[in-house]
Structure 1
Amino acid sequence: MNQTARTRTVVSCTLLVTALGAGLTACSSHGNALADRPYDAADQISFNAPTGAGKRADPDKPLEVTVNDGDGRITDVTAQDSTGRYVTGELAADGSRWHSTSPLAANAHYTVRVSTEDDDGAPGRKTLTFDTTQPTSKKRLNVTFGPKAGQYGVGQPITAQLDQPVKDKAQRAVVERALRVDSVPAVPGAWYWVSDKELHYRPKEYWPAHATIQVHSNLDGVRISDRLWGGKAKPLKITTGDRIEAITDAAAHQLTFYKNGQAINTIPVTTGKPGFETRNGVKIVLEKQYFVRMRSETVGIAEGSSDSYDLPVYYATRVSWSGEYVHAAPWSVGSQGYENVSHGCTGMSTGNAEWFFDNIHEGDIVRVVNSAGNQMEPFGNGFGDWNLDWKKWRTGSALVNGTPDTPAPEDAARLQPTAV
């Protein structure tokens, strides 16, 4: 095996080995199962992992694999726990030593497989199994994924709510690495730390239409800090429907409705008047309500003022938590298609609003262009995530910030199509 091939193999395999502990003694064929090999790799390789009944490794300590007395070299190492989690690690250039680079999970069962070759190039292999100790702290970091299971539009971000704050960048990297998002078809994406307790995940572009997206956590039993360990998390599965985009041109006073890239309807609308301009940018449908009572006091307009209102509104599609909707506005039909007279919402006739309501879905894209309003906020007022370009989005990740726009070696495998 040439050096390039060997390095590639090690990088791809070391995902599994991160959580193994130190303080181990050399293992013999009597203490661990050994794979078939042409020569005695058991005498060639030493682990710092414990052997014997009842002995467990400390997950806070790194795992080390070494070659005895310069006899041959290590060519490949994989480490994996019983749940399928891999451990990352580094192999010395001369193949004399491998060590894990991330902590082991507590209370886990590990299998480590080491491939070697002797000075004459003859291959060998050794397998070690061991368990790690219980966590030293009872404090757990629990994760709740969102949205709820179901079908959404292609603009729907994935959210992860933490029940404990995580501020340290290294600790954030541990958490983020354990939160996995897999899609079919596979697309690259990244997490963004919105706050110490909230992350959002989105692809570089919108999700593909009719995709299946599965989210799960590998954090259970993983040490995050001296007093905090990962807890369990309920996995999430969502799907996407057609690619729906509703694009409102505030200057032209019309909304064009696209389905899978094809314009299927153009609707005359009115948007925010001067002083109440509709926000520009991408918004994601948050919910649909057949009837909403809209009162000006809820958006800071004093009761009794010239701009106050108290209206029954039908076919209301919400795109921001601050009260921006696309809805029926029969009182402004004469202005729809000609001028902007609303307090920030996109208004249309009742018939058009009913059609829009029936054809739009939670997670679909609603984009406003050519408005005199501000840009939609990325966070805090709905899902404005797509208003950050991909380079800026990546800066919010504890893993990929400052790295090239390609999958990290430990993430490359999960971007390959897999059955869901």
Structure 2
Amino acid sequence: MKHSPRLRTALGCTALVASLGAGATACGGRDNPLSARPYDAGQQITFNQAADRRPVDPDKPLEITAKAGSGRITDVTAVDTHGRRLAGELTAAGDRWHNTAPMAAGVHYTVQVSTEDQRGAPGLRTLAFDTSPAKKVLAVELGPATGKYGVGQPITATLSEPVKDKAARAVVERGLVVDTPPGVEGSWYWVDDKHVHFRPKEYWPAHTTVSVRSNLEGVRISDHLHGAGSKPVKLEIGDRVEVTTDAAAHSLTFRRNGEVINTIPVTTGKPGFSTRNGVKVVLGKQYFVRMRGDTVGIGGSEYYDLPVYYATRVTWSGEFVHAAPWSVDSQGYENVSHGCTGMSTGNAAWFYENITEGDVVKVINSIGADMDVFGNGFGEWNMDWKHWREGSALLKGTQDGRSPIDQARLRPQV
């Protein structure tokens, strides 16, 4: 069997130490090439990119070659501005290394090349270069904004350009990093070509932190499209608040961390305006809202124009939990609203003070339709985990052309 020079040197050292006995150091002297400081390998290798000069094209391959008869390359590490290592492949003979993943655009690379000569002495050469900026970028806006949220809050990523190709979607998804609490399983779901949502399998654990960032800056998404930088977000998850509204019993139950804190008599949507069944996530709170029927297409004898206080929004189309002093006599007995959940002013004030964006509000036993999964707030929890995972480009992938999120922010119904 033919050994490489380095292997022959190591075998020779082993044999000599064995013959001299324990404590012998014949191979540790200055004549041992493995103990020498690395020499400058600049004359030993060639580099196909113009290092330290004008920016190089990130779409072109990066190749490092050992000159014939000069030894071999033993290792190459290429790291960009953001600490990302460029994947590459070294031939078995050690005569050539090339990148196996595209370089990032608009970044600085530091490339360290380790070599050895014919005697096995180590060499080292560091190269540096910039890649040219991307001509077209994909910006990612992460949501929600940094702050405190309930256990049901999904994470959103809105893309500046549509991404339809499944391979490109996989690149995007790999670059969207969610640092979850230990043991939490979660997945992204492609709602459509420009919207990706993330949720855990179960609600977020209470009193934990979730950090979200994009690692796509400079990364090649597809031909002539590279990722842009984006602002990271951090979610501080509060108590596990779960609200259940039983439309048939005309009652709302407020639980915090599994304990029933309050039970409130309510009224929900009357026939023809029934409140949607299903899990909804609190979208925000408004102390005062002017609610008008014509903003949601309600007129004639059903028209209303009311000042409403302590309003907690759960859908974009105008479903709130709010104070309804005009229906106190019906609260706890019958459903008389146009879709919202109404309660007394005192109860609404308490609810308003104790509910947080991202908390879970579930409606059961209504004769209304089911809450949409997308497009009218956050209905993600109404999709089972199996189907949610199938919306990931890293698993089975998604179908192109899903219905887009309705970005309209409609006025409320009462």
Q: State the match for 2:371 in structure 1.
A: 376
Distance 2:395 2:205 in 1: 22
Find out whether 1:252 has 2:234 as its counterpart. Answer: no
Q: State the match for 2:266 in structure 1.
A: 269
Match 2:188 to one of 182, 186, 191 = 191
Distance 1:111 1:179 in 2: 24
Q: State the match for 1:204 in structure 2.
A: 201
* One-letter identity of the residue aligned with 2:53: G
User: Is the 2:254–2:262 Cα contact (8 Å) retained in structure 1?
Assistant: yes
Structure 2: stretches of 5+ with no match in the other structure: 1-33, 399-414
Q: Which digits, 9 at most, give the CA deviation of each residue in 1:238-274, with x for residues without a partner? A: 2111111111122222111111121111111121122
Note closer, same or farther for the CA distance 1:280–1:66 as it changes in structure 2 (3 Å cut). Answer: farther
Deviation at 1:151, TM superposition (A): 0.9
Deviation at 1:227, TM superposition (A): 3.0
Matches within 5 A, 1:98-247: 100-110=99-109, 129-135=127-133, 137=135, 139-185=136-182, 187-247=184-244
Distance 1:112 1:401 in 2: 36
Q: CA RMSD in A?
A: 3.8
Note closer, same or farther for the CA distance 1:342–1:109 as it changes in structure 2 (3 Å cut). Answer: same
Q: Which digits, 9 at most, give the CA deviation of each residue in 1:172-218, with x for residues without a partner? A: 22222222221344623222222322222222222221222222222
Find out whether 1:342 has 2:337 as its counterpart. Answer: yes
* One-letter identity of the residue aligned with 1:149: T
Distance 1:394 1:63 in 2: 36
Partner of 2:180: helix, strand, or coil? strand
In percent, how many aligned pairs have the same letter?
65
* One-letter identity of the residue aligned with 1:171: A
Distance 2:96 2:318 in 1: 60
Q: State the match for 2:411 in structure 1.
A: none
Q: Which digits, 9 at most, give the CA deviation of each residue in 1:7-34, with x for residues without a partner? A: xxxxxxxxxxxxxxxxxxxxxxxxxxxx
Distance 2:391 2:332 in 1: 40
Distance 1:282 1:166 in 2: 29
Distance 1:385 1:127 in 2: 52
Find out whether 1:54 has 2:41 as its counterpart. Answer: no
Distance 2:252 2:88 in 1: 53
User: Is the 1:135–1:229 Cα contact (8 Å) retained in structure 2?
Assistant: no
User: Is the 1:57–1:130 Cα contact (8 Å) retained in structure 2?
Assistant: no
TM-score by length of 1: 0.73
Q: State the match for 2:285 in structure 1.
A: 288
User: Is the 1:245–1:258 Cα contact (8 Å) retained in structure 2?
Assistant: yes
User: Is the 1:113–1:125 Cα contact (8 Å) retained in structure 2?
Assistant: no
Larger radius of gyration: 2
Q: State the match for 1:82 in structure 2.
A: 81
Deviation at 1:82, TM superposition (A): 3.0
Distance 1:332 1:112 in 2: 72
Distance 2:186 2:168 in 1: 20
Distance 1:92 1:341 in 2: 76
User: Is the 2:50–2:56 Cα contact (8 Å) retained in structure 1?
Assistant: no
Distance 2:272 2:159 in 1: 38
* One-letter identity of the residue aligned with 1:199: V
Note closer, same or farther for the CA distance 1:351–1:136 as it changes in structure 2 (3 Å cut). Answer: closer
User: Is the 2:106–2:134 Cα contact (8 Å) retained in structure 1?
Assistant: no
Note closer, same or farther for the CA distance 1:257–1:101 as it changes in structure 2 (3 Å cut). Answer: farther
Q: State the match for 1:14 in structure 2.
A: none
User: Is the 1:185–1:208 Cα contact (8 Å) retained in structure 2?
Assistant: no
* One-letter identity of the residue aligned with 2:276: R
Higher mean displacement: 283-292 or 204-213:
204-213
Q: State the match for 1:308 in structure 2.
A: 303
Structure 1: stretches of 5+ with no match in the other structure: 1-34, 117-121, 404-420
Higher mean displacement: 168-177 or 257-266:
168-177
Partner of 1:200: helix, strand, or coil? strand
Distance 2:268 2:189 in 1: 31
Residue correspondences, number = 361
Distance 1:36 1:184 in 2: 46
User: Is the 1:111–1:127 Cα contact (8 Å) retained in structure 2?
Assistant: no
Deviation at 1:81, TM superposition (A): 2.1
Distance 2:375 2:35 in 1: 57
Note closer, same or farther for the CA distance 1:213–1:340 as it changes in structure 2 (3 Å cut). Answer: same
Note closer, same or farther for the CA distance 1:274–1:83 as it changes in structure 2 (3 Å cut). Answer: same
Distance 2:199 2:74 in 1: 37
Partner of 1:340: helix, strand, or coil? coil
Distance 1:93 1:367 in 2: 61
Match 1:329 to one of 316, 324, 344 = 324
Q: Which digits, 9 at most, give the CA deviation of each residue in 1:292-348, with x for residues without a partner? A: 22121122112x32x222222211111011110011122222222222222111111
TM-score by length of 2: 0.73
Higher mean displacement: 190-199 or 82-91:
82-91
* One-letter identity of the residue aligned with 1:229: H
Distance 2:91 2:339 in 1: 61
User: Is the 2:51–2:129 Cα contact (8 Å) retained in structure 1?
Assistant: no
Note closer, same or farther for the CA distance 1:164–1:54 as it changes in structure 2 (3 Å cut). Answer: same
Note closer, same or farther for the CA distance 1:224–1:301 as it changes in structure 2 (3 Å cut). Answer: same
